[in-house]
Structure 1
Amino acid sequence: MMCKVQGYRGADFHTWAREATGITLEVVQRRDGGFRSTWARVGAPPPAVPLLAVVPRRWVVERMFAWLGRCRRLSKDYECLRICSENAIYLTMAMLLVHRLARPAN
């Protein structure tokens, strides 16, 4: 399984993710290097920076966050402990799965 993320560029995190979960991470960088504007020397033309660059499969992650945001408990950061937030995510995803399985087939 392969996952693309922008952050966590340290080698320690890559090693931990591969050993603990079996997931290989690929760091995705923006075309402009992460900066929305860049400096140019005096008299030099500014470098071309695309306003929108599509990152492959990022919509899948954004869609999942939207599904989680529909749950009232996860719409705000109410939880103090990480384990409570993780349990709320598991519960929300289980509820989504049950709702989809209970839906009549067309």
Structure 2
Amino acid sequence: MCGRKRHLVVDVLGLVLAVQVHAANIQDRDGARALLPQLGAAFPSILRLWADGGYAGKLAEWVTTELQRTLEIVRRPREKKGFAVVGWRWIVERTFGWLNRSRRLRACS
């Protein structure tokens, strides 16, 4: 990915609500702390968020105390090997796929 991480917040249709791009050496949880307050200001009615395991840890507590929202970590079943469609996670992965089809939005050619 050429040294960049992209954090997306999408709705259930996969439409982008908020985006954050930063250097790849920043932990996912720290990148989310910069992104989620923007989401709360723009969309105050969103009260529940789903995220993958990269956002696990103290971030869920921070979201609850600071933003008054619920962050649920959606994990892949341990018995699954290889690719598996997991709950709500496939929606953001599909959105990343749509964005990567546009050459100008790709990190590297």
Q: Greater helix percent: which structure? A: 1
RCO higher in structure (CA 8 A, sep ≥6)? 2
Q: TM > 0.5 between the two?
A: no
From the CA coordinates, give the structure whose radius of gyration is larger: 1
Q: Greater strand percent: which structure? A: 2
- TM-score computed with the length of structure 1 as normaliser: 0.41
